[in-house]
Chains A and B, each alone.
Chain A
Amino acid sequence: MAELIEGVNPTRMELLKLKERVKLARKGHKLLKEKRDALVMELFDVIEEARGIRGNVERLLREAFEHLIIAESVMGVLTTQEAAMSVEESVGVDFANKNIMGVLVPLIEAQREKKTVIERGYELRETSAKLDEATDKFEDSIEPILKLAEIETSVKLLAEEIEKTKRRVNALEYIVIPRLENTTKYIEMRLDEMERENFFRLKRIKSILAAREVTEAPA
């Protein structure tokens, strides 16, 4: 049996107050459960998305490395490296948030100028078409990688919020509400007892008074 709230006076006022509190705590509990359920629903959808994207990243990178390894074998590792070093910076991220029930989930978007072969900056004469293909594939993988970062972070943040919400739901369900209910019952019991005691006390007083009347009555 759950505990009682300490220091509550067994009065009618207190009883009314407690009954109101139980009612409201139940409402609060239901609302929190709605939030928990909505969060779980969101998490499921994000997990589904994460699955597809991870697979996509894995596939794109596999292809990208295949092309790169061929390019290296055609051009030599050193030339490939030199070509890579001469490419200009072109990847930035636009970082924003969306707010899902208080969880600030990142929205990450690649800001990228997709370059033409000539704009890439490396000397065309020395490079093979394979290098361009590899470059294409690595470029293509950036967006899904950023999406993966976004989605995996969302999974993590939503999961954390679910844990927090669950703890609060459970605290209400297993501690707060039972304690309020028990205290309500306790006060009801005490009030009944007090009423009975009063009743008997009154009865006794009445009989004493009655007896006194009899003895004190003028003979």
Chain B
Amino acid sequence: MSAKVAVIGDQDTIVGFRLAGIKETYEVGSAEEAAKNLKSLFQRKDINIIVITERIAEQLRKMIDDFEAKKEEVVPIIVEIPDKKGPMRREVTPLQKLVKRAIGIEIILGERGREE
């Protein structure tokens, strides 16, 4: 099965991934705009992966969590990436919470960790 990647991000992120050959890109200036685009991407059957910047994702945390909790298939997969300002430091990611519940251990998924 061949599928597509979509990107939601600020202007520079979009320019970057356009250059790399991804056409399904959504430049968003506000959280409302991002929410609207994300919502319509959730409906699309041809989009398997949604790349979104951490900063925008953080503003839509509830919407993303709800979607992840409700979705019945594995796809679309939402993957959060840093923007030009660099990786965001977060207390705990949803993934960390899940792993902790499953095996009772705190894990750090970033390379250096997000603590300093």
Contact = CB atoms under 8 A, between A and B. Distances in A.
Contact of A69 (B1, B23, B84): B84
Given A92-B4, A95-B2, A145-B81, A84 B111 contact: no
A88 B22 CA distance: 8
A138 B77 contact: no
Contacts of A32: none
Size range of the interface on A?
35 or more
9 contacts: A43-B103, A65-B83, A83-B19, A88-B23, A106-B74, A115-B21, A138-B20, A141-B20, A160-B102
A162 B81 contact: no
A149 B5 CA distance: 11
- The secondary-structure label for the interface of chain B is mixed
Interface of A: 40, 43, 47, 50-52, 54-59, 61-62, 64-65, 68-69, 72, 80-81, 83-85, 87-96, 104, 106, 108, 111-112, 115, 120, 131, 134-135, 138-139, 141-142, 145-146, 148-150, 152-153, 155-160, 162-163, 166
A138 to B, nearest CB: 4
Nearest to A66: B84
Contacts of B103: 40, 43, 159, 162
The 5 tightest CB contacts between A and B, nearest first, are A55-B111, A90-B21, A138-B20, A159-B102, A84-B18
B108 to A, nearest CB: 7
A196 to B, nearest CB: 49
B79 A148 contact: yes
